[in-house]
Chain A
Amino acid sequence: GAVVSQHPSRVICKSGTSVKIECRSLDFQATTMFWYRQFPKQSLMLMATSNEGSKATYEQGVEKDKFLINHASLTLSTLTVTSAHPEDSSFYICSALEEGFSNQPQHFGDGTRLSIL
């Protein structure tokens, strides 16, 4: 089955650090990937839609300069949390749509737990 790898699975860093999270489709090409954020015991909130070769589309209220998204290839999207602060601590999950399989369920990564001290 289609696999999405998300790395790292957990990161702890100091306030002010920039953190990069990778979302990689291992056995399929993904023209579109999505980034979600989840606070403890809460729902997932869509942050942005990442399209290969173009700028990401951010949801209302999501700071573009804080959360930089790059989708440079058909198998990799990255989310960089710039100058991270404790309020950015959260669980970040990516998902990917398989190219050529429109309207099929997306594949989720296993998530990244980000803790900012």
Chain B
Amino acid sequence: AQTVTQSQPEMSVQEAETVTLSCTYDTSESDYYLFWYKQPPSRQMILVIRQEAYKQQNATENRFSVNFQKAAKSFSLKISDSQLGDAAMYFCAYNAGGTSYGKLTFGQGTILTVHP
């Protein structure tokens, strides 16, 4: 079974600074998808960024970028120029793709606090 591990229960960052959230996963698949989701206090699930395993290039969405290391099974999220609105719980998630597409396995989550 696939597992996703986020080893940082909580992280904090100063506004305008950069923070990196860690995620590792375990799978025997060669093709899969990885995601970072943001869950603010409203508990909405907001997609931050998505990476397809067959793509070597790291995904980027504005201030958010990932460091995808397939061999090491690592998928960290870097938030640049942190803003107060970035404060939330962040979940790393894995999806095997194919007929299992959509069935997400989530990590434990990291609570991010942004200090003004």
Enumerate chain A interface residues (CB-CB to B < 8 A).
32, 34, 36, 38, 41-46, 49, 91, 93, 95, 97, 102-103, 105-106, 108, 110-111
Contacts and interface: CB of A to CB of B under 8 A. Distances in A.
26 contacts: A34-B104, A36-B104, A38-B43, A41-B109, A42-B108, A42-B109, A43-B106, A43-B107, A44-B91, A44-B106, A46-B104, A46-B105, A49-B102, A95-B102, A97-B101, A97-B102, A102-B101, A103-B97, A103-B101, A105-B47, A106-B102, A108-B44, A110-B43, A110-B44, A111-B43, A111-B44
By DSSP majority rule, is chain B's interface helix, strand, loop, or mixed?
loop
B103 A108 contact: no
Given A97-B101, A103-B101, A105-B35, A43 B43 contact: no
Size band of the interface chain B makes with A: 20 to 34
